[in-house]
Structure 1
């Protein structure tokens, strides 16, 4: 069974853009996350919504209004998750995120985990950066159309789940058929597209993180079943997990 995604959301993050110019579909909902507002302004993009604690913004702080939500710095949700929640509430199920790879490694890991969260809810996220795209697929497939693939540009597959079963990679330089992958064994690194051949990455059960060259055509996403759940309510409170340090 094939489930098509709804409206697209484009999110501007605060990280490196690697000289890439974001592509904004005509009907996209645009969210600037914190310092991502600086980048949106630099590209001449008027964001539909701005959210963050604004600790990384260098330009003028946005005026508080019905298109801006200022968050506390001591919060549970990272700014990107807040931006994803806003896009989700506007009906988006496909997300293109710029400025979310590179820079701080903890932010990069967090952002990749959020792609897995989207996949687990039946949505699709694409992190753009440094000539590559990072996405995730849960219980489904990524079908890449044939194109003029450049030799040596890598496609890699990792299991985000403890165990991902029924993993196949077909139409790539190295084929894999109905394998199991784990989150602690790296056995999907450094594959390649083949020029003029369509390819498919599938997982019967589990969540995969997939990286591929930015010049490749975006895959068609197929899912084996419907998904439930959402990203949760927008959290604008100071974290309840905070405790006073001992010795004060």
Structure 2
């Protein structure tokens, strides 16, 4: 099975966004166990140093305990485990609220996935984030209750086409030093984004 769910730390503001039926294996990153407890889900694997979880872990879970002093965040370790075990699609719940440093780390983790041709999305019920890789074209469905923002996650990314939105772009160099792509809106049935020469961060935010 190449689909994985990861429960990260941080808030999940709307648990109705959690969908497990498409995913084969469930991994918890340390305090992400709190979300599984609320949802009455038993994860397959738990990874972390357990500096932020003091509850009991179901004996049916595989536990991978890590050192508190490490280069990877707990979420990154879960992502690496998933990719090493054949992941092609990863859904990360939580991970966008709480400590800002961990939020930035999780966004960088999305780029790590994109660089390895793994589709990864972070969703906390208020925001969804994903990274679109270089030399790619994707379409995104309209949702009137969301803003649609595009940022450069590298020094620059070339927007060949951004159409079906309130503020379209064509043959434009988007840089990491100016947030031109914030708070756009999809006005057609779907938006089309074609990029090259870098990585684009896509964020859907509730209005």
* TM-score calculated relative to the size of structure 2: 0.91
179, 185, 188: which one pairs with 2:172?
179
* Residue 198 of structure 1: how far off its partner (Å): 1.8
* Residue 142 of structure 1: how far off its partner (Å): 2.2
* Residue 83 of structure 1: how far off its partner (Å): 0.3
1:84 has 2:76 as partner: no
State how far apart, in whole Å, the 1-side matches of 2:63 and 2:160 are: 42
26, 33, 51: which one pairs with 1:30?
26
* Residue 58 of structure 1: how far off its partner (Å): 3.3
Superposed CA offset, 1:64-91 (max 9, x none): x982100000111100010001111221
Q: Which has the higher Rg, Structure 1 or Structure 2?
A: 1
1:14 has 2:9 as partner: yes
- 2:92 maps to 97
Computed over aligned residues only, the root mean square deviation of the Cα atoms, in angstroms, reads 2.1
- 2:108 maps to 113
Choose between structure 1 and 2 for higher RCO, CA contacts under 8 A separated by at least 6 residues.
1
Larger helix percent: 2
**Which blocks of at least 5 consecutive residues in structure 1 are unaligned?**
1-5, 216-248
**Which blocks of at least 5 consecutive residues in structure 2 are unaligned?**
none
- 2:203 maps to 211
Question: Contact conserved, 2:7 with 2:94, CA < 8 A, in 1?
Answer: yes
- 2:162 maps to 169
Superposed CA offset, 1:26-76 (max 9, x none): 44211011011121122111111110000111312566x982100000111
Aligned pairs, how many? Answer: 205
1:200 has 2:195 as partner: no
